[in-house]
Amino acid sequence: MKRLLLPLLLMAASAASLWLGFWVLRSALAGFCLYYLLCCLVLPTAALLAAGKATPRALPSLLGLLPLRGADLGLGLGIGLAMSAPMVLVLALFRQELFGDGRIREVLARWGASGDRALLVYVAMLAFNGIVEELFWRGFIHDRLRALPNRWVALGLPALFFAAQHLFVVSSLVASPGLIALFLAGILGAGVVWSLLRELRGSVIPSLVSHVLVTAGYMAAFLCFTP
């Protein structure tokens, strides 16, 4: 139970950081700093330092970054493309309902992520989202939960928290409850797939590569479809 406490606290902190940044402070910059920098990078590193493990040599493996293998890279690319295609198709099919009312544009403006800053947000998402999230969720958190007796709980718990924390952002951008539920189900499924990849391959690289491709897919759709 003691080993489970830290992952639970960090997973709860990640959800709280998104809620505080996007819903309370209404700032994409605040949300990114609180989530990506503080919760996904600083707090795990601090925990590893406190445990005396965060040496330059040991840190990559503690975050799941094993030496690059061609099979891992190919697997990540294949799964990333397979996940991106139906996601972009759904965004295209519901283009009018998602983008036609101007809600997304208004919310992004409220968060300070429109106009000249929009490109910076897109670049930040492509540069940090898939990489940082995988190092945190399928790297640090996954490694901390390996000692749980039930492996399905260890695999499913991060995926559940990962999907639940997206509620804050998805419900702000999307008006339809049905589409919100559909997107959250997709995020949950992606989290399960990425957890299984980490478990089966031992490395975070396949999930990291596929996550980067998924991020590129929906960010491209946002660029194309947002009026």
Q: CA end-to-end span of the chain, whole Å?
A: 50
At 56 the three-state DSSP class reads coil
Q: Smallest Cα–Cα separation from 10: which of 106, 111, 140? A: 140
CB atoms within 10 A of CB 1: 5
Backbone angles phi, psi at 69, to 5 degrees: -120, 140
60 touches 131 (CB < 8 A): no
- CA-CA distances (angstroms) from residue 198 to 48, 123, 173? 20, 26, 30
Residue 95 and residue 191: Cα distance in Å, rounded? 24
89-119: pLDDT as tens digits: 999 999 999 988 889 889 989 999 887 788 8
Mean confidence (pLDDT) of the chain? 90
Residue 213 and residue 101: Cα distance in Å, rounded? 27
> Tokens in use for 74?
């190919």
What band does 34 get if pLDDT is binned at 50, 70 and 90? very high
Residue 69 has pLDDT above 80, yes or no: yes
pTM (2 d.p.): 0.93
Residue 29 and residue 91: Cα distance in Å, rounded? 25
* Chain position carrying tokens 């101007």: 102
Furthest CA-CA distance within the chain: 53
Q: Smallest Cα–Cα separation from 103: which of 213, 157, 156, 179? A: 179
Residue 84 has pLDDT above 80, yes or no: yes
Q: Smallest Cα–Cα separation from 35: which of 152, 139, 159, 168? A: 168
Q: Smallest Cα–Cα separation from 14: which of 33, 39, 38, 44? A: 39
Mean pLDDT of 28-43: 94
Count of positions (residues) in the chain: 227
122-170: pLDDT as tens digits: 888 988 999 999 999 999 999 888 877 777 877 889 999 999 999 989 9
- At residue 2, the pLDDT reads 62
> Tokens in use for 76?
């990540």
- At residue 192, the pLDDT reads 95
**How would DSSP label each residue in 40-73?**
IIIHHHHHHHHTT---TTTHHHHTT-PPP-HHHH
